[in-house]
Amino acid sequence: MRIEVILPDNCINKYTEDDVKIVIASALYDKGVVALGYAAESVGLDKRTLIENMGKYDVPVLNLSKYDVNKVIENAKRRANARR
């Protein structure tokens, strides 16, 4: 699929076409529409480079639900208690 994006003139000097592609691919990844590998491939980057670029646009790299975050915290507490 190809999409044409028309940006205001003040954006044209600030953002490149690659910037816009990265933002769109990152947003699709963030929403769970595409996997990280596909998002990276769609903009011609490897996963690591896309992750580095996502930080520039405040897109979280870890896409965890509240349930997943709570499980990670519970597991960390359990492991910490087991070491005592």
In this prediction, residue 63 has a pLDDT band, given cuts at 50, 70 and 90, of low
**pLDDT in the model for residue 46:** 95
User: Over 80: is that where the pLDDT of 62 sits?
Assistant: no
Helices (H), ranges, 1-84:
9-12, 17-30, 36-42, 47-56, 66-83
User: Over 90: is that where the pLDDT of 67 sits?
Assistant: no
The tokens describing 61, both together, are 């790299």
**pLDDT in the model for residue 45:** 95
What are the two backbone dihedrals, phi and then psi, of residue 4, each rounded to the nearest 5 degrees? Answer: -100, 130
In contact, 67 and 75? CB cutoff 8 Å: no
The structure's pTM equals 0.66
**pLDDT in the model for residue 25:** 92
Domain residue ranges in the chain = 9-83
